[in-house]
Structure 1
Amino acid sequence: MTVTIAIETPLQDDVRAMVADLNAHMIPLTPREFQFQLTVEQMAEPTVTVLVARNEAGRQVGMASLKDHGESLGEVKRMFTLPEVRGQRVGTKLLQRIESLAREKGISRLVLETGEAPGFEPAWRVYERGGFQVCGAVLDYPDSGFSRFYEKNLA
């Protein structure tokens, strides 16, 4: 599948719909108090860059965000691909673009938090194939047993 990945505002209807799809997918998998989702409005903050993958027809098929925490630390947030394109490496392409963007911003370490439950295995595969290593709790996330943490040094 040919996709185009570009920086876009999350404040558009098709991206809002994709965020809603992501939330609908994730909410049943983990207790709500252990879900740390950025809202669309938080995704529009200056420290967050949103990348949207679109197919040949211009339809959104995936997204990922980079949150810049300063001091050379970045966080991968809101990574999602539509079910019908899974297995076509859209997630891999988004993750590669996040890494490229992080390097452009002078970020030398990427971290992320994802679920630690059945249903998250495809995400784990994308991160691990992308060179991310499982690590201990990062940032201010609790080490609850409901989260899996990853890191990747870019330097």
Structure 2
Amino acid sequence: MMERTFVMVKPDGVQRGLIGEIVSRFEDRGLKLVGAKLMQIDRELAEDHYAEHTDKPFFEDLTDFITSRPVFAMVWEGQDAIAQVRTMMGATDPADSDPGTIRGDFGLDMGRNVVHGSDTEPGSAEREIKLFFEDSELEDYERIDEPWLYE
């Protein structure tokens, strides 16, 4: 099933120069980048994005961090893209992430785990994509290698 998912290189990943490495991993996997932008998240967007955590004690720290420096927001497309991206990112806590995953290779701290990706809850990816991207900012195109990626 072809689907789209949202991924964000968080401020720690941007500051550490990991955008290219992270983009390369998803491209190497065969996922298609259909939207991307470097942006500074404002407080309102951060609160909307993390709305499910509003009542949790870490909400303030989370929103303060995500608004502290630029992020790199992306939309990836591919067969089972949501599950593929979740696997490639690794566990939320880098200490629990396997080597070879993005968080396992680059994350050092739960609060500085380099990337965010849409969870597997129905509608999460669509909701996050709409928060960060207008429809006009997303591209529909066929990659030349698609016949070699999918049956």
Q: What's the TM-score once normalised by structure 1's chain length? A: 0.32
Task: Tell me which protein shows more helix as a share of its residues.
Answer: 2
Q: What's the TM-score once normalised by structure 2's chain length? A: 0.32
- Of structures 1 and 2, the one scoring higher in RCO (CA 8 A, sep 6+) is 2
